[in-house]
Amino acid sequence: MAAIRLHNLRKSYKTGFWMREFEAVKGISLEVPQGEAFGFVGPNGAGKTSTIKVLAGLQDATSGEAFISGISCSDHRSRQHLGFLPERPYFYTHLTATEVLGLYGSLFGMTGRMLKDRTAQLLKRVEMTRFADVPLGKYSKGMLQRIGLCQTLLHDPEVILLDEPMSGLDPVGRAMVRDIILEEKHAGRTVFFCSHVLSDVESICERVAILVGGTIRLEGKISDLVSTQEKRMICTFKLQSEKTLDILSIQSGEVVEKSDLWEVVLPEIEFGAFLRNNVDHISIVDLRMQRKNLEALLVDAIAEDKRQTTEMGVLA
Amino acid sequence: MMVVWTLALNTFREAVRDRVLHSMVFFAVITVCASLVLKDITLGDQDKIVRSIAEGGIDLFASLIGMFLGISIIWKELEKKTIYTILSKPMPRWQFILGKYVGLNLTIWAEIALLSVMYVVLMLFQQDVPSPIFFVSMGLLVVELMLLTAWTTLFSTYSAPTTASAFTISIFIMGHLADDLWLLGSKSDSVFLEQVVHFIYWVVPNFELLSIRDLSVHEREIPWVQVWSAAGYGIVYSVVVLLLAVLLFNRKDIR
């Protein structure tokens, strides 16, 4: 059984004075197996937060289905297995960290010694023990994020839903949160990780879905997605004396000047021909292979979405 | 029920730490105490003056506090986004509404209890003993505010405090003038106006049914039949309004 399952999920909102319908999520389907760390990335307005809110039970799907551990997200019992950290979590500012975790623990049916011990353990884990009795109104954004992570993990959930968990954290805090997420992943928890910081996604997740304009543009193992992309060679060279650029034979790519040197970016398969044809005219200074990373994939997906939207506009 | 109780206690704790509430309770205390001073500058039955001002003060400030806290009870959670981490826990939404409602009423009951104790002390200071009807009157005030806060909870699920306060004040005024509204409709020459006014009469709560303050001020016999029927009316009406609030909130997208 999948830990998270979305089947043709759609989410629309009525906006503006005339209540026009805006479709934020356009029929997405995906499955996240138990124990996997899954990245959910996309630009602003891609439909990530809408999907997460359906999973967390904050919104109902317009159509389609969403399940957590096999239980429909419209059923409140699905949240018994779910730990949810919203983007920039907000808490009752009059409560202290201990009180707020006590409140959340009670909502999960945790009481007494078990709740007290778990609260103390988590506060220690996020290095917040010495602020345990300070009202949350006095906390910084990063400190609130840490408390947010504590409330997410409080009941030892099977599925952890994280919406921008690194937001507002300093580099030390980011490293700590990343370590905690990795620990949870290694302990067999399913992590659904939504972030703009793609390097974090690459370091934590095995699989990823790139969401653009409410639809999934790419989905799969990060290593597979990246390896299937075209590799490119970046060659920095010097022209032999008295030679000009006109003498070079280049099938594709553009040569740009860099200080006293020249640089050309070519598809890997064309590099051999470039070398053979120009070996008498250039001396190579530096040679690098460029592999597309997640960021490049996301940029391509956004560009593809824009192109399709424009084409559809023209057809209409 | 543990979830409801947890949310109620948290709502109560949040409310009693609110400085605006402290100020309102302070003014309520001043009003109750002022009845002692005012009786010296009035003619007639001075004890009745003390009872009238003090009980009127308790009524007024309890209603104001109920309205002040109630109009933002759900909206504040939505606006401050504290609701994200609450509703993502394993509980149905009706428990959230009920928890907030019970917490709101706990705060009002605490305020009424505090002012009632002050009133009793004041009476004893006057070498008088409060009549039993005073406590029954306070009991009905509690029911009246349960009804009023059920409405504020309903308004707060889908509107901002400014709109909710306009609705609440309208309900409060119409509810206290319900009998006059009926009379006005009956005396109207227009059948349409009569039907509209009578419709409003049946829809808005009749808060006057829940008030026996005049009888309490005059220390009359307790009208038990009226008390029980009014309490039943208030409780059933509150449950219906709360059910409506739950129905609306169940369909709400938390954005």
- The ipTM is 0.84
- Taking contacts as CB-CB distances below 8 angstroms, the residues of chain B near A151 are 85
A 220-279 residues inside an 8 A Cβ radius of B: none
Is B253 within 8 Å of chain A by CB?
yes
- Taking contacts as CB-CB distances below 8 angstroms, the residues of chain B near A76 are 90-93
pLDDT tens digits for A282-313?
Answer: 888 998 887 777 887 888 888 888 888 887 77
A75, A91, A92: best to mutate for the B interface, most B CBs within 10 A: A92
| Whether residue A272 has pLDDT greater than 90 | no
pLDDT tens digits for A163-222?
Answer: 999 887 888 888 999 999 999 999 999 999 998 888 889 889 999 999 999 999 999 998
Question: What's the gap in Å between the CA of A107 and the closest CA on chain B?
Answer: 5
Question: What's the gap in Å between the CA of A212 and the closest CA on chain B?
Answer: 20
3-state secondary structure of A140: coil
pTM (2 decimals)?
Answer: 0.86
Region B88-92 average pLDDT: 95
Question: What's the gap in Å between the CA of B21 and the closest CA on chain A?
Answer: 14
Measured distance CA(B3)–CA(A107) in Å, rounded: 5
| Whether residue A94 has pLDDT greater than 90 | no
A107, A146, A152: best to mutate for the B interface, most B CBs within 10 A: A107
- Taking contacts as CB-CB distances below 8 angstroms, the residues of chain B near A88 are 81
Question: Cα A156 to chain center, whole Å?
Answer: 22
- Taking contacts as CB-CB distances below 8 angstroms, the residues of chain A near B14 are 92, 94
Please say whether the beta carbons of B97 and B242 come within 8 A: yes
